Amino acid sequence: MSSIGTVLVTGGTGQTGRVVTDLLHRRGVDVVVASRHYPQERPAPGVRQVRFDWADAATYDEALRDVDSIYLLPPPLDADPADVVGSFLRRARDAGVGRAVLLNSSAFPLRTPGLHAVRLTVGQMPEWSVLLASGFMQNFLGSHPTAVTVREHHEIVAAAGDGRMGWIDAADVAAVAAELLTRADHDSREHVLTGPQALSYHDLVATIAAEWSLPVRYRPVTPAERTVQLVDAGVPQTFADALVGADVLTASGAEDRVTREVAQLAGRNATSFAEFLRRHPLRPAMTTTPEK
């Protein structure tokens, strides 16, 4: 494609979608922010908001109107999104959309075929990219279950053993996405995105202690125990299986890697975990006494 005029950002109010929207707007690219719930604030000039629901195909056409490129965030907590994403992308092609950039995970195991199939589905588009991101550092912030456990119980629970992962800042993923959504010399392929270091949970708790002055411990559990914990917390069984499968992959050493894709595509070094924690200091009100 010679030029990109308008980009549709699905999951436009999410942790990567918000940043992608902001980066594209700064570049002067028109953006369509798609979400089940409209943001409260008035959109900036050049930003259009639309209601979009993966489960409601009647919302697709308005979202795709006059769009050239799509940032594709599959339905959340869906372990088999290929069919619904494929249906949407067929509508997109018919509407003249030429490019899609899919956010996926590098850590989903092969025994969750639906999460792999969606990577093949995006290849229906004339131009495409798949972002295979490692674990998000944002898991340690806000209302994410890992963050809540860190704050309230001063521990991290996982079935990852001593395995390492190249944890990444979601803002770095968004920066790569914004580049791939708009660049003229697009190369359709997969991109494995990591932070600058492969870290174990032992490394993570040590960094949290150093940067947040919070005494956190890592409590490894078995895959079966972790699955029960996630399901009890309300995670659908199939998606809990996928998340635990990611832990098992990490434990095996499959995620112990670092790539230079962020620097090469976004033109900046990937954020380290220590730097990330310094940028997001733990508020005093969040500090609690660990359980005995």
Rounded Cα distance, 42 and 57, in Å: 26
* Residue-level pLDDT at 109: 59
The owner of tokens 């499959």 is: 254
pLDDT of residue 42: 75
For the stretch 221-247, pLDDT in tens is 999 999 999 999 888 898 888 889 999
Residue 286: predicted pLDDT: 47
User: Rounded to the nearest 5 degrees, what angle is found at the Cα of 171, between the Cα atoms of 118 and 200?
Assistant: 80
Q: What is the DSSP letter of 136?
A: B
Cβ proximity of 16 and 103 under 8 Å: yes
Under DSSP, is residue 18 helix (H, G, I), strand (E, B) or coil?
A: helix
Q: H/E/C letters for each residue in 82-111? A: HHHHHHHHHHHHHCCCCEEEEEEECCCCCC
**pLDDT value at position 44?**
81
What is the C-alpha to C-alpha distance for residues 127 and 282, in angstroms, rounded to an integer? Answer: 41
pLDDT value at residue 46: 87
Put the strands of the sheet holding 189-193 in their side by side order: 47-51, 30-35, 6-10, 69-72, 99-105, 127-133, 189-193
pLDDT at 265: 96
Residue 292 has a pLDDT of: 32
Per-residue pLDDT 10s for the chain (292 aa) are 557 789 999 999 889 999 999 999 999 999 999 998 766 677 788 899 999 999 999 999 999 999 999 999 999 877 788 999 999 999 999 999 999 999 998 877 555 667 778 888 999 899 999 999 999 999 999 988 899 999 999 999 999 999 999 999 999 999 999 999 999 989 999 999 999 999 999 999 999 999 999 999 999 999 999 999 999 988 889 888 888 999 999 999 999 999 999 999 999 999 999 999 999 998 754 444 333 3
250's CB contacts (< 8 A; 6+ apart) are 107, 160, 161, 163, 164, 165, 256
Q: Is 279 helix (H, G, I), strand (E, B) or coil?
A: helix
Q: What is the pLDDT of residue 28?
A: 94
